[in-house]
Amino acid sequence: MNQQNRWMSLLGLANRARKVISGEELVIKEIRSKKAKVVILAGDASENTRKKITDKCSFYEVPVYQVEDRGILGRAIGKDARVTVAVLDAGFAAKISKLLDESQWG
Per-residue tens of pLDDT for the chain, all 106 residues: 787 789 999 999 999 999 999 999 999 999 999 999 999 999 999 999 999 999 999 999 999 999 999 999 999 999 999 999 999 999 999 999 999 998 765 4
Sheet holding 20-22, edge to edge: 20-22, 84-87, 38-42, 64-67
Q: Under CATH, to which class is 3-105 assigned?
A: alpha beta
Which of 14, 79, 17 shows the shortest CA–CA distance to 42? Answer: 79
3-state helix, strand, coil split of the chain in percent (to 5) is 55, 15, 30
Between β-strands 20-22 and 38-42, what pairing exists: parallel, antiparallel or unpaired?
unpaired
Q: Give domain limits for the chain.
A: 3-105
pTM: 0.94
C-alpha dist (Å) from residue 76 to 12, 51, 58: 5, 23, 24
